[in-house]
């Protein structure tokens, strides 16, 4: 299967049905390499369903999902994709370093010690390495979760609402880490329902009711809607979508990497 140049994820015509509900309806998405792509929308818009489809754990009704040149869920992607869940998925009765060594061995990382040291540097948790994760603050636990996802040097990191429940200082610190990860060439996909986080992304995909409402850079979407914030832009796009009756709503004039 061919890989679209500069694209880590290529989703085409994706349709997901759950019972009598269509969770995703004809979704087309691309996630660029070396950039942060924000997947934004209110609760129930289809963000988590799209993430599950990219990870290859979601049953789909139609369409295709290609990740790093392979069908989503392929065995070849085991070390290529890192996933950060909303709630920390580490063992509370193990220390930070013990958790990371365990996950590194599960992944089959060639040099466990070196890789654990590397990710501890990335998330700035060296001082807490011998601390039980059960005793960490919420922000520190989120960093351990992120560190585990970075083991093995993945080329795509998927984060499902990683800043939920964190205070503004911790959120700002985590977003700084996301930018550093993207600067290494890794594709970063971040889902959020917090619209003010949109300005921190290089590209945006706005979902509503299982459809792509709009896509483009934050600046493009603000210009198109004549608004001053991502939240105002989203509301304006919802109104425009109702007025035009369009399935996907307004799109940027040019088709960028994340379109």
Select the more confidently predicted residue: 228 or 164. Answer: 228
Model confidence over 134-185: pLDDT tens digits? 999 888 888 899 899 999 889 999 999 888 777 788 788 888 889 999 999 9
pLDDT of 212 above 90? yes
How high is the mean pLDDT of the chain?
87
CA gyration radius, the chain: 18
- pLDDT exceeds 70 at position 109: yes
| pLDDT band per the 50, 70, 90 thresholds, residue 25 | very high
What pLDDT sits at residue 5?
Answer: 56
d(CA 254, CA 250): 12
Buried b or exposed e, range 6-33, using 16+ CB within 10 angstroms = ebbbbbeebbbeeeeebbbbbbebbbbb
Domain ranges within the chain, ordered by starting residue: 1-80+158-259, 82-153
Instruction: For residues 81 and 215, give the distance between their C-alpha atoms in angstroms, rounded to a whole number.
Output: 23
pLDDT at 247 over 70: no
Distance CA 193, CA 180 (A): 22
Q: Is the pLDDT of residue 228 over 90?
A: no
Rounded CA separation 222/225 (Å): 5
Using the predicted structure, report yes or no on whether residue 12 has a pLDDT greater than 50: yes
Q: Check pLDDT > 60 for residue 249.
A: no
What does the pLDDT read at residue 253?
Answer: 38
CB 219 within 8 A of CB 233: no
Who contacts 256 (Cβ-Cβ below 8 Å, separation ≥6)?
Answer: 32, 203, 215, 216, 217
Please check the confidence at residue 61 and state whether its pLDDT lies above 50.
Answer: yes
Are the C-beta atoms of residues 107 and 78 closer than 8 Å to each other?
yes
CATH code reported for the domain at 1-80+158-259: 3.40.50.300
- Categorize the per-residue pLDDT at 246 as very low, low, confident or very high, splitting at 50, 70 and 90: very low
DSSP character at residue 58: S
């Amino acid at each position: 299967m061919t890989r679209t140049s500069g694209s880590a994820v290529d989703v085409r015509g994706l349709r997901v049905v759950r019972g009598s509900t269509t969770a995703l309806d004809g979704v087309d998405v691309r996630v660029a390499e070396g950039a942060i792509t924000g997947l934004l929308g209110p609760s129930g818009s289809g963000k988590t369903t799209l993430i599950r489809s990219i990870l290859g754990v979601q049953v789909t009704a139609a369409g295709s999902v290609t990740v790093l040149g392979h069908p989503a869920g392929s065995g070849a992607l085991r070390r290529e994709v890192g996933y950060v869940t909303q709630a920390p998925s580490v063992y509370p009765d193990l220390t930070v370093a013990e958790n990371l060594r365990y996950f590194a061995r599960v992944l089959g990382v060639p040099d466990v010690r070196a890789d654990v040291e590397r990710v501890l540097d990335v998330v700035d948790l060296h001082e807490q390495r011998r601390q039980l994760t059960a005793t960490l603050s919420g922000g520190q636990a989120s960093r351990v979760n992120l560190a585990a996802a970075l083991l093995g040097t993945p080329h795509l990191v998927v984060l499902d609402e990683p800043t939920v429940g964190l205070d503004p200082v911790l959120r700002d610190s985590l977003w700084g880490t996301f930018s550093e990860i993207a600067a290494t060439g890794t594709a970063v996909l971040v889902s959020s329902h917090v619209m003010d986080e949109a300005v921190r992304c290089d590209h945006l995909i706005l979902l509503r009711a299982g459809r792509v409402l709009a896509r483009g850079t934050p600046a493009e979407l603000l210009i198109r809607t004549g608004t001053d914030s991502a939240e105002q832009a989203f509301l304006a796009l919802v109104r425009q979508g109702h007025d035009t009756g369009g399935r996907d709503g307004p799109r940027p004039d040019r088709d960028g990497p994340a379109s």
